[in-house]
Amino acid sequence: MRCSKLSRMKNLLPRTGRFAAVLLLVSLAVALNAQDWAKARLEASPRHREYVTLKHGTRSLQALVVYPEVKEKASVVILIHEIFGLSDWAKEMADELAGQGFIVIAPDLLSGFGPNGGGSSEFASQDATVKAVSGLDPDGVLADLDAAADYGKKLAAANGKIAVVGFCWGGSKSFAFATHRKDLSAAFVFYGTGPTDVSGVVAPVYGFYAGNDARVGATVPGTTAAMKAAGKIYEPVTYDGAGHGFMRAGEDPGNTVPGHKTAREESLARLVKLLKEMKSAPVTSVTAGKAGTEAVACHEMAPPKS
């Protein structure tokens, strides 16, 4: 519903209820336009992006694929969205990573679960999206991510290296995928919790955490101990002054927390550096750190319904 329509609705209300209605309409307008900045940046990108249909068993899901403008073959990054689904920000983040020289595949894990059989874009509200993502079957998510990784391995422009990066809910799923998928070159976990059983991890895991995020931060010592005991690589870094979701908040034009922006800039630099240094065959060790010292034509088409 556009803001003009909302305004016309306001005029139909009794005068005594207009003040409350105006407040509601303003809130709705803010929610509708919350990620317009991310959408605008995505639409201005020169990089080729397209939607593809991934299949496994009887399931089909949509994924956004963004290609870098490079001469050589590139590593593939599977990007796992936040609990808010494949939002404009998740798409813009995929494009930004592609701009650093990687092929990025961002599956819409809500494909087929939305109204009318659609995906993330079909949900009427953020609350509905969050509820749907929270209810996804963990094994189904792993199968979807397998389909994305299998697709990436077959791309002619890919160099054979595959990494996974996830944010928030997607950060936890990134760690879970590292316990499941044995041919990953690396896994990157942004403010997500680790699994109980880490024995299946093969690739090195790199963590990005916020200093002002006690809920997730409290789990890091236990994950560190578990990964060390299992002989796995785990390098968590905590960014002081930042809160949960700093990768999105840090580039939001409305951000008022300096720590979000700083953490985002440092995290992105670290992520890109580690992606470029990825090895095909991972080794095992564990360290911990603290930040502060350290298809379509040429663009994106509307996602088809799954």
Q: Does 226 share its domain with 144? A: yes
pLDDT of 14 > 80? The answer is: no
Q: What pLDDT digit, counting tens, does each position of 102-132 carry?
A: 999 999 999 999 999 999 999 999 999 999 9
Q: What pTM was computed for the model?
A: 0.83
The residue-averaged pLDDT of 33-45 equals: 86
Q: What pLDDT digit, counting tens, does each position of 74-95 carry?
A: 999 999 999 999 999 999 999 9
Q: Does 6 share its domain with 43? A: no
226 vs 8, more confident = 226
Q: Does 56 share its domain with 183? A: yes
Q: Does 16 share its domain with 143? A: no
Q: Decide if 118 is inside a domain.
A: yes
Q: What pLDDT digit, counting tens, does each position of 148-195 carry?
A: 999 999 999 999 999 999 999 999 999 999 999 999 999 999 999 999
Residue-number span of the structural domain to which 163 is assigned:
35-290
pLDDT (0 to 100) of residue 23? 36
Q: Does 22 share its domain with 109? A: no
Q: Cβ(288)–Cβ(235) under 8 Å?
A: yes
**DSSP string of the chain?**
--HHHHHHHHHTS-GGGHHHHHHHHHHHHHHHTTTHHHHHHHHT--S-EEEEEEEETTEEEEEEEE----SS-EEEEEEE--TT-S-HHHHHHHHHHHTTT-EEEEE-TTTTTSGGG--GGG-SSHHHHHHHHHTS-HHHHHHHHHHHHHHHHH-TTEEEEEEEEEETHHHHHHHHHHHH-TT-SEEEEES-PPPS--TT--S-EEEEEEEE-HHHHTTHHHHHHHHHHTT--EEEEEEEEEETTHHHHTT-TT---HHHHHHHHHHHHHHHHHHHT--SS-------EETT----SSSPPPPPP-
Total domains, the chain = 2
Among residues of the chain, what percentage have pLDDT more than 90?
79
Q: Does 23 share its domain with 50? A: no
pLDDT of 287 > 80? The answer is: no
The residue-averaged pLDDT of 17-29 equals: 39
pLDDT (0 to 100) of residue 34? 64
pLDDT of 257 > 90? The answer is: yes
pLDDT of 284 > 80? The answer is: no
Quickly tell me which residue has 């890091």 as its tokens.
Answer: 220
Q: Decide if 304 is inside a domain.
A: no
CATH assignment at residue 166: 3.40.50.1820
How does residue 279 score in pLDDT terms, banded at 50, 70 and 90? Answer: confident
pLDDT (0 to 100) of residue 18? 47
pLDDT of 291 > 80? The answer is: no
pLDDT (0 to 100) of residue 140? 98
The residue-averaged pLDDT of 278-282 equals: 71
Q: Decide if 300 is inside a domain.
A: no
pLDDT (0 to 100) of residue 111? 98
Q: Decide if 222 is inside a domain.
A: yes
pLDDT (0 to 100) of residue 35? 83
Q: Does 86 share its domain with 18? A: no
Q: Decide if 267 is inside a domain.
A: yes
305 vs 60, more confident = 60
Q: Does 27 share its domain with 96? A: no
* Average pLDDT of every residue of the chain: 86
Q: Decide if 305 is inside a domain.
A: no
How does residue 305 score in pLDDT terms, banded at 50, 70 and 90? Answer: very low
